[in-house]
Amino acid sequence: MPRRQIRLAAADGGEVRAGLARIREELDIAPEFPPEVLAEAAAASAGDGPRTDRTDLAFVTIDPPGSMDLDQALFIERDGTGFRVHYAIADVATFVRPGGAIDLEAHRRGVTMYGPDVRTPLHPPTLSEGAASLLPDGDRPAILWTMRVDSAGEGVAVECSRALVRSRARLDYASVQASLDNGTAEEPLVLLREFGLLREERERVRGGVTLPIPDQEVVESGDDWTLRYRAPLLVEGWNAQVSLMTGMAAAELMLSGKIGVLRTLPPADPRDLERLRRTAKALRVPWPDGTTYAAFIRTLDPKEPAHAALLTSSTVLLRGAGYTSFAGDLPDQPLHAALASEYSHVTAPLRRLVDRYALETCVALSGGAAVPEWVRAALETVPKEMNEADGRSHKYERMVLDLVEAELLKGHEGATFDGVVVDVEKDGSRGHVQLQSPAVEGTLVGTSLPLGERVTVRLEEANVAKRSLRFVLP
């Protein structure tokens, strides 16, 4: 599922940038790689082995502008009344020696960390933005998923194997959306829209939901800072459906082969749903009684600031997401509740450690071969490493938002704001308030705090150094 990005759009923001550096120091997030890792990456080349030449397919990549770590390349063609979806994924494993310096460092990092000012990659840029990235500057090794899809958007056949591919163009979402809107898009992109709409409908029918989480930009204007939301384009959702279908196909392969690693999520905690309802109330977004969470989310427009803030808050329902590995006995709980399906991460190996292991498992199972021993040996430990890395990434994200929200309200101590009390501790003296405008959340202290009620609160403290906001009832 998509993760929101937090971008620093300001040309100069000394205190905020210093605060971001302190956060990275606290969390031990270091963009630099040890010399032995850089040396190994500089010498790395694609490994030998059977690989089908599919440079005949006109792959393209679709990513945010300026992206260089390109995990996926796409080509869709008509197949009777349905589609044939070709999805090339960067073959990171062919460059990484199990137990080598790159591998050990990747296990330490777990994921690429995205800050608003600095990106801390999982792999050295020599690989992640060069030899392993699906850039349109020559042939690249890839794991190629070929999926046949019927006219209703249902997958009917899948193959996964090593291939040689060549991207024809590095596209961005805005240009692709514009070409679709003005009728100049080439047929594979037109088919992406058709395919994406069908898959979104299938998601709705099975009760799944993919959050159209907006990017958040930290913007400086004069002496003030603010948070600005960028709504995702429709094509971003259609492109995400290709990745989601691939992850579901991967999960099916693994479950059939009784070995692999799944991305799992239990059903949402009712308390989190109630808290989200209170946040909707704070933002004055109607949530009719009897409307399910999945149905409600589909009514939200991420271009609307209040809706965007609510979608961002909805990530609380992803609590409990984790990784479940198995070899032999199938997991008791294999589902990803938000997707209403089994699912595995296999489409971002440049940016996420677990994908390399899941991909190798799928290549072996699809080809009727034994899963490599180096993969089997890591299945027990990779879920724990990924859970820790995800936890650190989420903490990084939250600390960055806390920093910017404190900076946003600094100097407004004593001012009053309208909001809703979204949660309260058992003794009723401490909780959190969601403001209506600006759409930020802070600590609220008082006596017998009225959970779920609209209140007027006074800002008592906006501490940038501590990344904290404290409100009181007047």
Mean pLDDT of the chain: 91
Query: Taking residues 284-313, what's their average pLDDT?
Result: 86
Of the CA atoms within 13 Å of residue 314, those in its CB half-sphere come to 26
- Summarize pLDDT for 27-49 with one digit per residue, the tens: 999 989 999 999 999 999 988 88
Asked if 443 contacts 469 with a C-beta cutoff of 8 angstroms, the reply is yes
Q: How far apart are CA 133 and CA 140, in angstroms?
A: 8
Query: Taking residues 112-125, what's their average pLDDT?
Result: 92
So what's the pLDDT on residue 375? 98
Query: Taking residues 367-376, what's their average pLDDT?
Result: 97
150 and 289: one domain? Answer: no
172 and 289: one domain? Answer: no
Q: How far apart are CA 357 and CA 203, in angstroms?
A: 27
- Summarize pLDDT for 426-446 with one digit per residue, the tens: 888 899 998 877 878 899 999
Please tell me which residue, 54 or 403, carries the higher pLDDT value: 54
327 and 353: one domain? Answer: yes
Asked if 307 contacts 347 with a C-beta cutoff of 8 angstroms, the reply is no
Please tell me which residue, 375 or 405, carries the higher pLDDT value: 375
Residue owning tokens 């963009």: 31
Asked if 263 contacts 321 with a C-beta cutoff of 8 angstroms, the reply is yes
287 and 336: one domain? Answer: no
pLDDT surpassing 50 at residue 11: no
293 and 435: one domain? Answer: yes
Q: How many domains does the chain have?
A: 2
In a domain, 312, yes or no: no
Structural domain span for residue 452 = 270-298+414-474
- Confidence band for 225, pLDDT divided at 50, 70 and 90: low
pTM across the whole model: 0.88
Residue owning tokens 């990784």: 323
186 and 283: one domain? Answer: no
212 and 276: one domain? Answer: no
466 and 346: one domain? Answer: no
- Summarize pLDDT for 245-279 with one digit per residue, the tens: 999 999 999 999 999 999 999 988 898 999 899 98
pLDDT surpassing 60 at residue 394: yes
Residue after which a domain boundary falls, among 358, 382, 408:
408
- Confidence band for 13, pLDDT divided at 50, 70 and 90: low
So what's the pLDDT on residue 231? 80
139 and 252: one domain? Answer: yes
Q: How far apart are CA 82 and CA 85, in angstroms?
A: 10
pLDDT surpassing 50 at residue 57: yes
DSSP state of 94: G
